[in-house]
């Protein structure tokens, strides 16, 4: 595991420890999946995307192909402004990548069961911790970007972008058109 992956896990764990006291009354449980279907966009950093992409690359070919199709479908729906469930949500409403799920999936919880008419109730303290954690993740992925899961994975699927990113180079001009159209943030310019 690379140093950046170790640091990523440390950031996740630090958030969990600090937020634990506020999450004791969470109503979330395996299979509820409201956040995966109705709560909005699943924003990730390129570092998180690289870890997800590497995991997907080790899946059986048939599963990889189905995921690629789901990711493209999600991308097209989002480009059209329509909601779309997470491509990693399985039919049994469990997360296919739960062990490596991105921070956005780790931070959200609710103190009541969510439905379309009753969105999550979140702790202000946890959301403040989450905002600080997002800035830490963006600082860790300083030569990377943040954006919706499908868009970041698409970018990482482009050899020129992937090679630039993996080499540690920073060339935002290579993604400026795609980035503007898809709301991609440059990590080193996003936080404060």
159 to 6, 147, 153: CA distances (angstroms) = 25, 19, 12
Note the Cα 164 to chain centre separation in Å.
Answer: 21
The pLDDT tens digits for 103-155 are 998 887 777 777 777 777 778 888 899 999 999 999 999 999 999 999 999 99
Which strands, in side-by-side order, build the sheet including 43-45? 43-45, 145-148, 185-186
pLDDT number for residue 38: 65
**Residue-wise over 109-140: b if at least 16 C-beta within 10 A, else e?**
bbeeebeeeeebebbeebeebbeebbebbbeb
Residue 184 structure tokens: 């991609």
Q: How far apart are CA 153 and CA 100, in angstroms?
A: 14
Q: How far apart are CA 176 and CA 186, in angstroms?
A: 10
Q: Is the pLDDT of residue 1 over 50?
A: no
Nearest by Cα to 27 from 124, 123, 122, 109: 109
The pLDDT tens digits for 43-74 are 999 999 999 999 999 999 999 999 999 999 99
The pLDDT tens digits for 142-165 are 999 999 999 999 999 999 999 999
């Amino acid at each position: 595991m690379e140093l950046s992956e170790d640091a990523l896990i440390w950031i996740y764990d630090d958030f969990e420890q600090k937020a634990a006291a506020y999450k004791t009354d969470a109503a979330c449980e395996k299979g509820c999946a409201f956040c995966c279907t109705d709560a909005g966009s699943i924003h990730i950093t390129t570092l998180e995307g690289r870890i997800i992409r590497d995991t997907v690359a080790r899946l059986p070919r048939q599963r990889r192909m189905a995921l690629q199709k789901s990711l493209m479908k999600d991308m097209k729906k989002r480009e059209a402004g329509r909601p779309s469930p997470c491509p990693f949500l399985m039919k049994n409403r469990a997360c296919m990548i739960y062990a490596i799920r991105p921070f956005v999936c780790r931070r959200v919880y609710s103190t009541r069961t969510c439905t379309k008419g009753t969105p999550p109730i979140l702790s202000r303290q946890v959301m403040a911790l989450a905002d600080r954690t997002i800035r830490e993740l963006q600082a860790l992925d300083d030569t990377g970007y943040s954006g919706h899961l499908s868009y970041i994975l698409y970018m990482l699927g482009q050899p020129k972008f992937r090679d630039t990113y993996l080499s540690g180079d920073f060339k935002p001009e290579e993604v400026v058109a795609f980035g503007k159209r898809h709301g991609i943030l440059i990590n080193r310019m996003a936080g404060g």
